[in-house]
Amino acid sequence: MHLHTLWFIILAILWVGFFVLEGFDFGVGALHTLVGRTETGRRVALNAIGPFWDGNEVWLIVAGAGTFAAFPGWYATMFSALYLALLLVLVALIGRGVAFEFRGKSEDPRWRGTWTWCTTLGSLLVPLLIGVGLGDLLVGLPINAAHEYTGNFFDLLTPYGLWTGLTILGLCLLHGATFLALKTTDEVRERARKAARPLGWLAVALVLGFVIWTRVVVGHTQVPGPVEVLALIAVIFAARLARSDAHEGWAFAASATAIASVVGSIFIDLYPNVMISSTNAAYDLSVNNSASGSYALTVMTIVTVIFFPVVLLYQGWSFYVFRARVKAPSA
């Protein structure tokens, strides 16, 4: 296997890991006012992701840095094309992160209400916008022979990209609901389970539409690939298992599998390209024409082999330490 192919796989793993881990954070942030009707309930919901959310966001940073180092041509074209969208993502991430830290600094209802809205809107916008960007990679954007983006902001809002964004957002909402059902107690847990039922069937419809539309966009075959079939099966299982309080762990695992399969399928269908040109297929960016040199990729591979297992061990340890359910403080 060539190193540029290996690094395409590594970046795909980083994006999958980001959405599996940060996906439930986004879902909780978007749903915390729904499952928490009181300030105590909202605090319980946010405390459930308190030990994890900032560490999970590191996967996004590493994915961006890895793209810059391994595929500078892809990074330059993608980040220039998606500049305004990524600026919105950055603002949403900052607002969301600041809200987690600041909303408890004052008892003033207006203060807390402001940060509650920042948490909710940020948690909705980030997966939606990143999902649109991932969909655009596959459906194609106007790129010329010099690999420069020639469109405007509204050219980013492709119908397929918007559907991909809605699909990932829907899966994040389901993922967050199953996480809350697994990690909380009493009223918050019950409301999370109730929310997971309609969100589950909404996610099924979105994933089904995504799979059909992706087959049309890719055009090679009308038969869904194994990963797309897995996404459909997993989201159906997540929707069904979310109805029972005896299978909360399996429901969470199924929603994680569904979101991993959807994101992974985008990269599988994209390879060997990294970005499609809607102007001319000859202008597509591929792993061959946008990768760094062999020496840089070799050094990066050695560093990744050493440190990536450490990151996985740390995240596994973190989940083990904070495995207990989050409860409301006793009166």
Q: For 164-178, 220-234, 297-311, which range has the lowest pLDDT when averaged over its residues? A: 220-234
The single-letter code of the amino acid at 304 is T
**pLDDT band at 137; cut points 50, 70, 90:** very high
C-alpha span between 107 and 319 (Å, rounded): 31
C-alpha span between 69 and 75 (Å, rounded): 9
Q: What is the pLDDT of residue 265?
A: 95
CA-to-CA dists, residue 247 to 84, 179, 180, 231, 326, angstroms: 42, 12, 13, 19, 18
Q: pLDDT tens digit string along 253-304?
A: 999 999 999 999 999 999 999 999 999 999 999 999 999 999 999 999 999 9
Q: Is the pLDDT of residue 331 over 80?
A: no
Residue 274, H or E segment: strand 273-275
Q: What is the pLDDT of residue 202?
A: 95
What are the extents of the domains in the chain?
A: 3-321
Q: pLDDT tens digit string along 55-92?
A: 899 999 999 999 999 999 999 999 999 999 999 999 99
3-state secondary structure of 271: coil
Q: Is the pLDDT of residue 245 over 90?
A: no
The better pLDDT of the pair 37, 130 is held by 130
On the CB side of 66, how many CA atoms lie within 13 Å of its CA?
Answer: 22
Burial class (CB in 10 A: 0-12, 13-18, 19+), 198: middle
In the block, tokens 């990074």 appear at 75
pTM for this entry = 0.94
Pick the CATH number of 3-321 from 1.20.1630, 1.10.1060, 1.10.3470, 3.20.20: 1.20.1630
Q: What is the pLDDT of residue 104?
A: 80
Name every residue whose Cβ is closer than 8 Å to that of residue 167 and which is 6 or more positions away in sequence: 131, 203, 206, 207, 209, 210, 262
3-state secondary structure of 142: coil
Q: What is the pLDDT of residue 50?
A: 87
Q: What is the pLDDT of residue 1?
A: 65
Mean of pLDDT over the chain: 92
In the numeric block, which tokens belong to residue 28? 């909780």
Q: What is the pLDDT of residue 103?
A: 83
C-alpha span between 153 and 90 (Å, rounded): 16
Query: What value does the mean pLDDT take over residues 178-205?
Result: 92
